[in-house]
Structure 1
């Protein structure tokens, strides 16, 4: 589903990604962890073309998105993205936030879009808030709406860039539970999740990738990684963030 081949990313003289080789299969749930500035968000944003790679090849659904001839608008229709800060339209209701893109991009009629949006809001326990505006709901609720909005485009890949980092501690669990249910209820959905929640990474993902200074240091089954990290940098990181 996703394949990096010798990918590098530079910002001027700074190399944010270093020789990334990575494959993520259909239906896999992969978490990216590591210290701040390690390249996790950059790697994720490259997958949907928000950041252009400097060299190498990057395939999504067998399309090399590094090819300048590729229409990224079409590629992005199959890639959902959930950001740290929700990015909801403040002047539209919760329901309107979700129905807008399916109607404009997928060509759904209004009745079909509303029916689908209400079903997705129910799945994230937000249906009762459908007529509210973003300013009238909490941060955790906004993030659940953002997840429902991304899913309304029926993507084959979902990207989460630190989806709980802007939330209050008491709302983090609700959002993580929604993401974890996705992996169970939609087994064909490929998910890449940048997170600082180590318990979630261990329990909810098939693989955990540890990054440092733009490199993939370890890429292993999650339970195996957390029980027995191999690289000294991974060991030090886990010792700092969890009680093992």
Structure 2
């Protein structure tokens, strides 16, 4: 467990520094503070990628769930590359193109994460009750209805929006909805039992990421470069990475007991 708490200390420490620099940028707009803030933000979400890799490399090679965590690591890495490209534009105070190079990497996040979560869903397979099915169906139906009302129908009806932007604006929220629904299924399947801390961290990170993505998409005109949502995105990175590290500690404990 020592390695897990060391990673928690490193990740939370960077997150606190990131928050402090964000607050400092609100009162000090000098270029030095701005670029230091960009560097700290970059370090804050890149470090969890290395923590996730550290966690993945410690998993048992013949364990059936290892492929799921590999897909999680790859999904997080693609997302981080997209955010890095976004940061490069932000550091130059230039509006990133949309669609742009960052979207090439963002595009791969949903299929990788959905594939990983389907593996986890199979690992946690239990008999679902009618109440669970109704709850998940209702949540998914409400979310889909909201997306149709606020995103899909308005975009399809807008003739000035290019086709590529329409497709991406449909792809991202629908992918988020699928990830959210599968996350609910996993949560409901393990709820009431002895839920793994690694799954709890993972699902917390996923839900934070989905909520922040939704807030940014719905109110994008209110968010400039370096905004409070960046801190929540970095928190999501950290939670998902810590899930991998914790899974590593479980495997190490099992090896030590043998």
Q: TM-score range by the shorter chain?
A: 0.3 to 0.5
Larger radius of gyration: 2
Which is richer in strand? 1
Which is richer in helix? 2
So what's the TM-score if we normalise by structure 1? Answer: 0.34
Higher RCO, 1 vs 2 (CA within 8 Å, ≥6 residues apart): 2
